[in-house]
């Protein structure tokens, strides 16, 4: 059973729009929640991350919102650009053990 | 810096054959990982090694073995390949100096097809 559930599976957004990807986790022992971005033919790369003692983290156009009581977190991409088209994975980590969601394929149309 | 290097990039096997995927990192990281990526399943943890000399099972360890040869190298072995092991395999490493700060650096992946 997957410990991190991610939705939607795919997302199409117009250039300049807001992309929102949601994740939920089961295990309250997770203490680190990163988002990874993957382009075709490449390995995933860290995009942004948050710890559970913070409710929001913003880096440029990317924001993580974290709801500890609901065990949910989400990625918001503001002013989405065609270059943001990629697969996005949320993850949850307990020290060395990191579990990923199923991924969201984002397409930003020009 | 090369980061995390995986070999081979592509491999085709017949059912029952064995093979080893090699991974090396040059960042002096303590922890190393093997994941498999399948459509609609995301990245699933096969095995990880928190430090040299230790290995632990992840979500999907059946059919695989690992060896942490030294601090730099972590190999994944398929003893008797099955079609269900057709996947893209990713090696990763991290410097987990404390809880809540586990940043993984991934290799480029190894695409394995088992016929």
Residues B59-109 pLDDT 10s: 899 999 999 989 999 999 999 999 999 999 999 999 875 555 678 999 999
Element (H, E) at B114: strand B110-114
Residue A46: strand, helix, or coil: strand
Cα–Cα separations (whole angstroms), residue A31 to A59, B41, B101 = 20, 22, 9
Query: CB of A100 within 8 A of CB of A5?
Result: no
A96/B50 Cβ within 8 A: yes
Span A2-55, pLDDT tens digits: 689 999 999 999 999 999 999 999 999 999 999 999 999 999 999 999 998 999
B109/A43 Cβ within 8 A: yes
Q: Which of B4, B42, B102 sits opposite A89 (nearest CB)?
A: B42
A103/B48 Cβ within 8 A: no
Q: Which of B45, B101, B106 sits opposite A99 (nearest CB)?
A: B45
Report the C-alpha gap between B27 and A44 in whole angstroms. 17
More confident call, A66 vs B53? A66
């Amino acid at each position: 059973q997957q410990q991190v559930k991610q939705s939607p599976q795919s997302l199409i957004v117009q250039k300049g729009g807001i992309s929102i990807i949601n994740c939920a986790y089961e295990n309250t022992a997770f203490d680190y929640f990163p988002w990874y971005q993957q382009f075709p033919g490449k390995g995933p790369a860290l995009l942004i991350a948050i710890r559970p003692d913070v409710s929001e983290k913003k880096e440029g156009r990317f924001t993580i919102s974290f709801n500890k009581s609901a065990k949910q977190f989400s990625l918001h991409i503001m002013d989405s650009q065609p270059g943001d088209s990629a697969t996005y994975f949320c993850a949850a980590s307990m020290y060395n053990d990191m579990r990923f969601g199923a991924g969201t394929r984002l397409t930003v149309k020009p | 810096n090369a980061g995390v290097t995986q070999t081979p990039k592509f491999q085709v096997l017949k059912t029952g054959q064995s093979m080893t995927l090699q991974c090396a990192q040059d960042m002096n990281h303590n922890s190393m990982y093997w994941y498999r990526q399948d459509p609609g399943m995301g990245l699933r943890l096969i095995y990880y090694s928190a430090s040299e000399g230790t290995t632990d099972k992840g979500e999907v360890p059946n059919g695989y073995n690992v060896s942490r040869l030294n601090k730099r190298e972590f190999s994944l072995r398929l003893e008797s390949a099955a079609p269900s092991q057709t996947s893209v395999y990713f090696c990763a490493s991290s410097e987990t100096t404390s809880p809540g700060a586990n940043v993984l650096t991934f290799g480029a992946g190894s695409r394995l097809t088992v016929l």
